[in-house]
């Protein structure tokens, strides 16, 4: 399915099943793509996650029920997927800035209408990238499970944590201290950020990684294999990495005529020869297969 068609189909499915949909994975199954792939692309293109879209639409329509009907708050809460009035009240107040009781009176509500994706793809074919075939890559590093709902904020914190624990001396140009720091230095852990589509639903694994040479790894680290395949590689800097990622999902993936993106994993590469900072040289690797 073409990418824009996939996003539109996902929105249509959510709108048709707002009251009974159980998880973002259900939406991904309907449009026959990886849940991680759909979540990442949807968030870049719309500014919210699948879970946020479902939740916000339900809370908006629940507010209309409060305004336009005499049904009890409990009935409306149950109708829109909340098991208890307390849970509904908390989510409703956070979204609308007013309690259900206040909204039923004269309180204002926050509008959240169905999204209508109308995107003009410009520049997708003109982005600077190259296609490279790579052998399988064995990686080693620190691995943690994240949720698509908040990964934009939690993954940077993960980097800060690992850098502070195991790389701050190295970044100051000092010799490593201890087994883990020495391993990090020898195996260039931190050169790669690897997003692995290895979990169900909205969960995925992310690794701050380097290159596995078969040495015994310290406690707290793990290994993975990036399968041999073809990659689209986009050059950028640390300052433009997020902008480049956004353009890949909003322009290049919808606009390119030659490749599909299976999205088993994506990779960020950080040049070991560049000093940390906004101008640090980086790359984003996207797995691709030629379109039939």
Strands (E), the chain: 129-134, 137-147, 192-196, 203-211, 222-226, 229-237, 259-260, 265-270, 281-290
Is residue 116 domain-resident? no
DSSP code of residue 277: S
Confidence check: pLDDT of 53 > 60: yes
Which structural domain range is residue 38 located in? 3-105
pLDDT band at 47; cut points 50, 70, 90: confident
pLDDT of residue 123: 47
pLDDT at residue 116 is higher than 80: no
Give me the percent of the chain exceeding a pLDDT of 90: 59
Residue 122 has pLDDT above 70, yes or no: no
pLDDT digits (tens, 9 = 90+) for 3-23: 778 888 999 999 999 999 988
Confidence of residue 32 (pLDDT cuts 50, 70, 90): confident
Residue spans of alpha helices (H) in 133-250: 151-166, 168-171, 178-186, 241-247
- Please tell me the pTM assigned to this model: 0.80
Q: Is residue 211 part of a domain?
A: yes
Q: Are residues 25 and 86 in the same domain?
A: yes
> Average of pLDDT values for 73-97?
94
114 part of a folded domain: no
Q: What is the CATH number of the domain that holds 37?
A: 1.10.10.60
Residue whose C-alpha is closest to residue 147's, from 139, 156, 155, 136: 155
Same domain, 131 and 209: yes
Q: What is the mean pLDDT of the chain?
A: 89
pLDDT at 2 over 80: no
CA–CA separation, 252 and 214 (whole Å): 37
Domain-located, residue 280: yes
Q: In the predicted model, is pLDDT for residue 121 greater than 60? A: no
Position 119 scores a pLDDT of: 52
What letter would DSSP give residue 228? Answer: S
CA dihedral 133, 139, 143, 147 (to 10 degrees): 0
* Mean pLDDT across 156-160: 95
- What are the C-alpha distances in Å from 119 to residues 27, 103, 156, 264? 21, 35, 29, 25
> Residues 45, 148: one domain?
no
Select the more confidently predicted residue: 105 or 234. Answer: 234
Residue 113 inside a domain? The answer is: no
Q: How far apart are CA 192 and CA 152, in angstroms?
A: 17
């Amino acid at each position: 399915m073409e990418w824009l068609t996939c996003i539109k189909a996902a929105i249509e499915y959510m709108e048709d099943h707002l009251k009974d949909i159980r998880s973002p994975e259900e939406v991904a199954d309907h449009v026959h793509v990886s849940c991680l792939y759909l979540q990442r692309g949807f968030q870049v293109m719309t500014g919210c996650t699948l879970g946020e879209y479902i939740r916000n639409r339900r809370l908006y329509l629940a507010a209309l029920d409060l305004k336009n009907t005499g049904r009890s708050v409990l009935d409306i809460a149950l109708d829109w997927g909340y098991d208890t009035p307390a849970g509904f009240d908390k989510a409703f107040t956070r979204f609308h800035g007013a309690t259900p009781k206040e909204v039923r009176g004269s309180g204002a509500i926050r509008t959240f209408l169905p999204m209508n994706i109308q995107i003009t793809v410009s520049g997708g074919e003109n982005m600077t990238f190259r296609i490279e075939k790579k052998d399988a890559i064995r990686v080693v590093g620190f691995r943690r499970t994240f949720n698509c709902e908040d990964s934009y904020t939690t993954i940077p914190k993960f980097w800060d944590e690992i850098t502070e624990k195991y790389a701050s001396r190295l970044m100051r140009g000092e010799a490593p201290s201890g087994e883990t720091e020495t391993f990090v230095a020898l195996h260039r852990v931190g050169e790669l950020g690897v997003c692995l589509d290895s979990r169900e639903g909205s969960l995925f694994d992310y690794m701050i990684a380097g290159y596995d040479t078969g040495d015994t790894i310290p406690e707290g680290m793990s290994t993975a294999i990036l399968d041999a395949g073809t990659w689209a590689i986009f050059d950028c800097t640390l300052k433009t990495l997020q902008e480049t990622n956004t353009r890949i999902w909003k322009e290049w993936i919808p606009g390119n005529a030659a490749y599909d993106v299976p999205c088993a994993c994506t990779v960020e590469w950080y040049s070991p020869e560049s000093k940390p900072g906004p101008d640090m040289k980086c790359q984003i690797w996207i797995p691709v297969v030629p379109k039939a």
